[in-house]
Amino acid sequence: MSPSKETISNWFKELQDEICLKLEVLESSAKFKEDLWFRAGGGGGRTRILLGENIEKGGVNFSAVHGKLPEGAIKSLGVEGADFYATGVSIVLHPHNPYVPIIHMNVRYFEMDSNTWWFGGGIDLSPHYVNIEDAGFFHRGLREVCNKHSITYYSKFKKWADDYFYIPHRKETRGVGGIFFDRLSAELSFTKEGRWAFVKDVGKLFCDLYLELNKRNHNKEYSSHEKQWQYLRRSRYAEFNLVWDRGTKFGLHTGGRTESILMSLPPQANWVYDHQVSSESEEANTLAHLKKEVDWCTIDIIK
Amino acid sequence: MSPSKETISNWFKELQDEICLKLEVLESSAKFKEDLWFRAGGGGGRTRILLGENIEKGGVNFSAVHGKLPEGAIKSLGVEGADFYATGVSIVLHPHNPYVPIIHMNVRYFEMDSNTWWFGGGIDLSPHYVNIEDAGFFHRGLREVCNKHSITYYSKFKKWADDYFYIPHRKETRGVGGIFFDRLSAELSFTKEGRWAFVKDVGKLFCDLYLELNKRNHNKEYSSHEKQWQYLRRSRYAEFNLVWDRGTKFGLHTGGRTESILMSLPPQANWVYDHQVSSESEEANTLAHLKKEVDWCTIDIIK
């Protein structure tokens, strides 16, 4: 059975609930704070923010909006017609410990009519300090889920993430990438049911990957040197999101809910003019790895 | 005599020197650090950064670049031809004390050939705490210089700044505005000499305004409460520059020198989800004043 928009939206809502519960386990007492919001044109969302000891600032957002598509959106999406329905879950977690990576996940569904619909989403990782074992674990997890659905998915969506999360003005990637996909509709042997099964698996994978990466790193000791570096990496994260991220730009330019969109921004970011790293430092090692086309699935195995 | 691009560029270079010397007087020992840079396509610049006790992070940049105009630039500027010359001085100062405003100044000249050239620029003020006497002093200073050149300048350029420095996704202005102008060429009774005389006066005005505002406020006492508010206001400044500022976008998208362009970003910025101010607080008073169309020249007089 082809999933309806209500089925998809309800599943996303449950995914948000489940992820929030699992993330709260990382905290001794901090809980998500929820804001319900309603969109003048139709629909709304549940924005949930966690300010914890482990996760310094995290957002896990669900939304389901519908109505007439804004003029600018019709143009930029290249669609005809005016009524739309869009639902999804978006997550960005900024951890306290600089050795824990920033993670971003998004699953979304867009529909104009029974023939015009698509899924999009992805998971990507932005370590303040690149750890190739962690990056390998992360990418192999993504590959395994992709391969369950299509042998073409991982390499295609991994490259898509490399290209999407690139910061041209810094000539570096935002992190070690992951997978990114958009406009997945029915074509060739891909059905709506098949695309939906894949998107659900991506959503379910998120906690498996992040909780493991968090467990591996959140007790590592660090000094103010590593924290300062984290603030610098976070400013690159802010640059990417504000200058290049199409989702953020689209939201801010079409009157989306600003506080929900910008929950992705770090709690604190520092800009230092022309910052230089010491050669052979962990920071230099990280910069050397912020490249496209790294084969993360094997980098730590062939080492 | 109509000024040549060399005359204009040399004057801008001297303006940079003069402003740097005057700003260094604010510091007990900190000095500007200079980076010379060269552009592959032609020209280059002198980026000067000050990290001081009074000015936490300040940039005073001069550049003069020339060559073939990038394809994207030809489109966005709506010009024909391919050779260009562009020179200017850009300043952004982020003070330590939250009661001292952030200030931005820019004077620039662009030329394609003897018939296609224009001046642009402006000065605008972004107080962390709006002080209407300071804003009145600032705007009256701008008005006086504008009126020396044309009785139409101040109201036109003040409105231009209101519109330019507006943050749509926050529904607030970046600060209390100032003047902004672009594409000033020869038309009606305005000559190149006349436009140039005006731009020089704007450049010379900068220190008169800023040094007075700095003197009035830099010794005011503040606590961590005011400093936290400053970090929040700086994150709005970063949002404006990265999302909306056409100059920043143009530079980052056409391969400008990233570190020189992004010297405008604050040393530290904080994002707090859905931050609320107490009613009747100084912070609420500031937000109430971040509006277009405020008559700053008389607001403190009629009070």
The yes-or-no verdict on residue B3 having pLDDT over 80 is yes
Minimal CA separation from A151 to chain B, in Å: 36
Whether A271 sits inside 8 A of B269 (CB atoms) is yes
Whether B266 sits inside 8 A of A271 (CB atoms) is yes
Identify the pLDDT of residue B288: 97
Q: CATH second-level architecture of B5-299?
A: 3-Layer(aba) Sandwich (3.40)
Closest CA to A199 of A213, A214, A179, A174: A179
Q: SS3 for A137? A: helix
The yes-or-no verdict on residue B293 having pLDDT over 70 is yes
Identify the pLDDT of residue A301: 84
- From chain B, which residues contact A within 8 Å (Cβ)? 35, 49, 57, 59, 168-170, 231, 235, 238-239, 242-243, 249, 252-253, 258-259, 261-263, 265-274
Q: What value of ipTM does the predicted structure carry?
A: 0.94
- From chain A, which residues contact B within 8 Å (Cβ)? 35, 49, 57, 59, 168-170, 231, 235, 238-239, 242-243, 249, 252-253, 258-259, 261-263, 265-274
Identify the pLDDT of residue A303: 61
Instruction: Give yes or no for a contact between A87 and A111, defined as CB atoms under 8 angstroms apart.
Output: no
Residue B212's contacts (CB-CB under 8 Å, 6 or more residues apart) are B137
Identify the pLDDT of residue B55: 98
pLDDT band at B303 (very low <50, low <70, confident <90, very high): low
Counting as low any pLDDT under 70, the low residues of chain A are: 303
Average pLDDT over residues B189-209: 97
CA-CA distances (angstroms) from residue B58 to B54, B55, B266? 10, 6, 9
Q: What is the mean pLDDT of chain B?
A: 96
**Rounded distance, CA A83 to CA A68, Å?**
5
pTM of the predicted model as reported, rounded to 2 decimal places: 0.95
Minimal CA separation from B61 to chain A, in Å: 13
Average pLDDT over residues B220-229: 98
Chain B interface disruption, residue of A37, A249, A271, most B CBs within 10 A: A271
* Percent of chain B topping pLDDT 90: 89
Average pLDDT over residues B278-302: 95
**Rounded distance, CA B89 to CA B12, Å?**
6
The yes-or-no verdict on residue B224 having pLDDT over 80 is yes
**Rounded distance, CA A12 to CA A30, Å?**
23
* Percent of chain B topping pLDDT 70: 100
**Rounded distance, CA A124 to CA A117, Å?**
24
**Closest Cβ opposite residue B252 in set A59, A243, A259:** A243
The yes-or-no verdict on residue B302 having pLDDT over 80 is no
The yes-or-no verdict on residue B169 having pLDDT over 90 is yes
Whether B273 sits inside 8 A of A231 (CB atoms) is no
**Rounded distance, CA A99 to CA A221, Å?**
9
Whether A243 sits inside 8 A of B266 (CB atoms) is no
Closest CA to B129 of B278, B229, B241: B229
Query: Which residue ranges make up each domain of chain B?
Result: 5-299
The yes-or-no verdict on residue B301 having pLDDT over 90 is no
Residues of B marked as catalytic? 104
**Rg, C-alpha atoms of chain B:** 19
Question: Exposed (0-12), middle (13-18) or buried (19+): which is A224, by Cβ within 10 Å?
Answer: exposed
Whether A270 sits inside 8 A of B274 (CB atoms) is no
pLDDT tens digit sequence for B131-140: 999 999 999 9
Whether B267 sits inside 8 A of A262 (CB atoms) is no
**Rounded distance, CA A35 to CA A14, Å?**
16
